[in-house]
Structure 1
Amino acid sequence: MKSTLNIGYVLFLSLVAALGGFLFGYDTAVISGTITQVTSIFSLDPIQQGWYVGCALIGSIFGVLFAGVLSDKFGRKKTMILSAVLFSVSGIGCAISANFYELVVYRVIGGIGIGVVSIISPLYISEVSVAKYRGRLVSLYQLAVTIGFLGAYLVNYGLLQYSQNGAAQLDYPVMQKIFHTEVWRGMLGMESLPALLFFLVIFFIPESPRWLILKRKELLAQDILKHIYGNERDAQYELNETRQVSKSDNKSEWLSIFKPGIFKAILIGVSIAILGQFMGVNAVLYYGPTIFEKSGLSGGDSLFYQVLVGVVNMLTTVLAMTIIDKVGRKKLVYYGVTGMIVSLIMIAFYFIEGEALAIPNVFLLICFLAYIFCCAVSICAVIFVLLSEMYPIKVRGLAMSVAGFSLWVGTYLIGQLTPWMLENLTPAGTFILFAIMCVPYILIVWKLVPETTGKSLEEIERIWEKEPLLTNSVSEEIYTM
């Protein structure tokens, strides 16, 4: 039968869910342009500065702890709605916060939204996708994250310029405060606009058909699958496949994660999630302007350099999307992480010998951009794809929460410790440490992670559970049921 896949519909569902990634990226990156201002206004020391950055990450840790459980119980769609509400409250609250403590509270609320959406959005995309396009579609989420990064950098740079060249003429005192005297409020508050859009568009997408099958709502699931695949035969085949693996055992979710194959998959997911944070990417995204300032750049130039970092990050993610289903997940990691190691060593060299050898600042920028390119084309593009596809449907939300928890613990530690490391290890020592942490990551992917490119979610599940893949004859038999 000729394929009648409704790729336009699948793309629409993926784009809506990916908007959560934009909010993730914006909320994560916007902090970089506000650190200097908030530190000055509230007289923060290095530990308090780390807490200002890290408090949202504490919220993210709580978010991932509950995201999987909530999505497995109430559905992927309702959980995304919750994240949209949290982002909206956070953006508005940060803009009007009366003191540092209120600011921290609203940043934590936004962090919970980040944690929830970091699990649910890629999970939803994975479950409405087909094997042939799943890598590219789930990578839409990572692309949206990078667009969010770039959006935050552009907003930060644009609002800083506006605050210096026109905002003083605003009529209302509150607007002068948000966009002129304390422009960091406007930077944080602008998040509420895409958050409200996300909240509205979620109502135009259906629930995940695989979650509906798990909850025995098969008629609803079949209608959605028919809309996705364009014909009843393909929809019935996918329904049968998902039904088969979801009924493979009757253990509870918590007991199921301790099955040998599944537990191994969770340990691997935890390892690559937490190690990925100690390879430096979030230190660059959070503290890029601060690091550039340490090289002698002005605040405005540092924000402009960070915009360039965001542009390369976004464009490279587009490249990764086009090749991830062709090159494969593992090869991208091999090539990209190797390039990251070289770039990190060159950055460290600049901070060691740059002044003595009169190396221009543009060398540091080129090394940063090379590092971001290698990172965006490999671990950033691959991690959410792998985490969204490597776990069985019965424990997928819970298992992703466990892996996501480790990811955000690592992210929090990097956010909290980077100011301390830059001050005590020096920038050179910090980047050498990041380079060293790349080595165990690439070894784990090489030795322990199976290649999942081109395989259905059900086939991947059988890899971990040591069940044989369907033979052609069995596949055809199920297909014609």
Structure 2
Amino acid sequence: MYFSATIFTMLGFPIPTLTSLVVAVTNFIFTLAALFLIDRIGRRRILLWSVPVMAAGLLLAAWGFSFIDIAATDAADDAPSQPPPARGAAVTILISFMMYVAGYAMGLGNVPWMQSELFALNVRSLGSGIATATNWGANFVIGLTFLLLMEALTPSWTFVLYAAICAVGTGLIWKFYPETAGLSLEEAASLLEDDNWGVR
């Protein structure tokens, strides 16, 4: 989302900022939906459903970028119109971004901010601080390396790499992340005391 206006300019959208707004509105709508659904569906289940949607959106973006000649779009700054196949690929990429952001807003955009319930009261502030720093640190690394990866790996392979990270994340959530919906704070904090972290 940080670079969506840059990407949509590169793809030849006539008003890239307006196109980015479509992605931002998708984020807003699905964040609201997550706030209503997260306790009904459960944190673990919503992550196990939404992270694969993110991976699918990233793979769709990778496929869309395979039809775009980035070198040609960089060279043709004064010619925003793309040939018909590239226009279709650009729309595919826009849809893939909306799909990714919808999955993100439903799961990883919300659930990590509820992690304090997993920590015992005597370490809750420290645990929450470390978890938040980790979250923002990962965000910083992605923001710092995204454009470099786009140049080094090509856009398609960059998005394939991010999809692979989502796939690994899905496996880790399935293996380790306990369900805390419907539990009291004390019950949720006690989950990490089990050998299997409360994962059945």
Note if 1:291 corresponds to 2:7. Answer: yes
Whether 1:367 and 2:96 are equivalent positions in the alignment is yes
Q: In angstroms, what is the RMSD of aligned CA positions?
A: 1.6
TM, length-normalised to structure 1: 0.36
Counterpart of 2:164 (choices 410, 419, 436) is: 436
Question: Match for 1:315: what amino acid?
Answer: I
- Where do 5+ consecutive residues of structure 2 fail to align? 70-82, 195-200
Per-residue deviation, 1:397? 0.9
Q: Distance between the aligned counterparts of 2:135 and 2:107, measured in 1?
A: 16
Match for residue 446 of structure 1 among 158, 163, 174:
174
Residue matched to 1:308 = 22
**Correspondence 1:321 to 2:49:** no
Q: Per the alignment, in what secondary structure is the counterpart of residue 179 of structure 2? A: coil
Question: Shift of the alpha carbon at 1:359?
Answer: 4.3
Count of residue pairs the alignment pairs up: 179
Code of the residue aligned with 1:295 in structure 2: it is: L
Answer whether contact 2:116 2:127 (CA < 8 A) is retained.
Answer: no
Return the alpha-carbon distance in structure 1 between the equivalents of residues 59 and 106 of structure 2: 19
Which residue of 109, 120, 123 maps to 1:392?
120
- Give the one of 395, 418, 423 matched to 2:151: 423
**Offset at residue 358 of structure 1 (A):** 3.9
Inter-partner Cα distance in structure 2 for 1:302 and 1:431: 20
How far 1:308 moved relative to its partner? Answer: 1.0
Q: Partners of 1:409 and 1:358 in 2: how far apart? A: 35
Q: Which residue of 2 aligns with 1:410?
A: 138
Give the 4+ runs in structure 1 shifted more than 4 A: none
Matched-pair contact (CA < 8 Å) for 2:60–2:92? no
Residue 354 of structure 1: CA displacement?
Answer: 4.5
Where relative contact order (Cα < 8 A, 6+ residues apart) is larger, the structure is 2
Residue deviations 1:31-66 (CA, integer Å, cap 9, x gap): xxxxxxxxxxxxxxxxxxxxxxxxxxxxxxxxxxxx
Q: CA deviation at 1:464?
A: 2.0
Identity of aligned residues (%): 31
| Greater shift in the superposed pair: 354-363 or 447-456 | 354-363
Q: Tell me the secondary structure at the aligned position of residue 444 of structure 1.
A: helix
SS of 1:322's equivalent in the other structure is helix
CA distance in 2, matches of 1:339, 1:345: 10
Check conservation: 1:329, 1:452, Cα contact below 8 A.
yes
Q: 2 CA distance for matches of 1:464 and 1:347?
A: 37
| Structure with greater proportional helix content | 1
Q: Is the 8 A contact 1:293 1:302 kept in 2?
A: yes
